[in-house]
Amino acid sequence: MATKYITFTELRALLGNRSRSAVYNDIDAGRLPKPLKLGGRNYWPLDETEEHLRAQRDGGA
């Protein structure tokens, strides 16, 4: 199955419209996966992002 990638706007919506700086702070702290940069845009693998969010919810790193 092909991996679905989401844009920064879609990532923010998934996170309840968190601010740009809050999202990048979460990436730096390891609470969100690092993006894949294609051209001038960043994309996040949806399955990996959801896995990070589940880990946070369940008390993980």
Within 8 A by CB and 6+ apart from 16, the residues are none
Query: What's the pLDDT at 53?
Result: 87
Give Cα separations from 49 to 14, 40, 52 (angstroms).
Answer: 10, 20, 5
Q: What is the pTM of this model?
A: 0.82
Which residues sit opposite 37 in a β-bridge?
Answer: 42
End-to-end Cα distance, the chain: 27
Chunked into runs of 10 residues, the chain (61 residues) has average pLDDT values of 90 94 94 93 94 83 52
Q: How many domains does the chain have?
A: 1
Residue with tokens 């706007």: 9
Q: Which domain holds residue 49?
A: 5-57
- The pLDDT, as a whole number, for residue 61 is 52
Contact, 36 vs 45, CB < 8 A?
yes
